[in-house]
């Protein structure tokens, strides 16, 4: 379990880099969409992983370091967004999202 949590921590760092790229780099439309898609995909996978760990955490004996990693990941991924932006984005391509201070803001784009 410790190895899985450490791997999840590496994925968290990858997610942070994606968020940084989306926020602070001038990306073309296709690159932006790919990075946003990957970012949302990581979030979905991590939410499932963390929910599974939370469901079984009392059956698994975790040392303090592993529990700290788990709580950090849980805080980062499970409380990251209040809205399911992937559904919004799929339903309406005119809706764009911006990630600011680890919160996704949805804005309407007019063409």
Q: Which residue has the higher pLDDT, 58 or 104?
A: 58
Assigned domain for 107 exists:
no
Assigned domain for 99 exists:
no
pTM score, whole prediction: 0.59
What pLDDT score was predicted for residue 91?
A: 44
Assigned domain for 72 exists:
yes
Question: Would you state the structure tokens that stand for residue 57, as one six-digit string?
Answer: 């955490």
DSSP for the chain reads -HHHHHHHHHHHHHHHHHHHHHHHS---HHHHHHHHHHHHHHHHHHHHHHHHHHHHTTTS---HHHHHHHHHHHHHHHTS-SS-HHHHHHH-TTEEEEEETTEEEEEEPP-
User: Residue 82: is its pLDDT beyond 50?
Assistant: no
Q: Which domain holds residue 70?
A: 2-80
Assigned domain for 35 exists:
yes
pLDDT digits (tens, 9 = 90+) for 42-79: 888 888 888 887 777 656 666 777 778 877 787 777 66
pLDDT digits (tens, 9 = 90+) for 4-16: 888 888 888 888 8
Assigned domain for 102 exists:
no
What pLDDT score was predicted for residue 68?
A: 80
Q: Which residue has the higher pLDDT, 33 or 65?
A: 33
What pLDDT score was predicted for residue 50?
A: 81
Assigned domain for 101 exists:
no
Assigned domain for 106 exists:
no
Assigned domain for 15 exists:
yes
Total domains in the chain come to 1
């Amino acid at each position: 379990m410790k190895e899985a949590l450490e791997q999840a921590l590496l994925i968290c760092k990858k997610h942070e880099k994606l968020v940084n790229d989306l926020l602070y780099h001038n990306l073309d439309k296709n690159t932006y969409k790919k990075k946003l898609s990957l970012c949302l995909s990581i979030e979905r996978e991590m939410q499932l992983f963390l929910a599974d760990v939370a469901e079984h955490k009392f059956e698994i004996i975790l040392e303090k370091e592993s529990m700290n990693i788990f709580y950090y990941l849980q805080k980062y991924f499970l409380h990251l967004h209040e809205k399911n932006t992937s559904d919004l984005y799929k339903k309406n391509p005119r809706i764009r999202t911006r990630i600011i201070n680890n919160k996704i803001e949805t804005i309407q784009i007019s063409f």
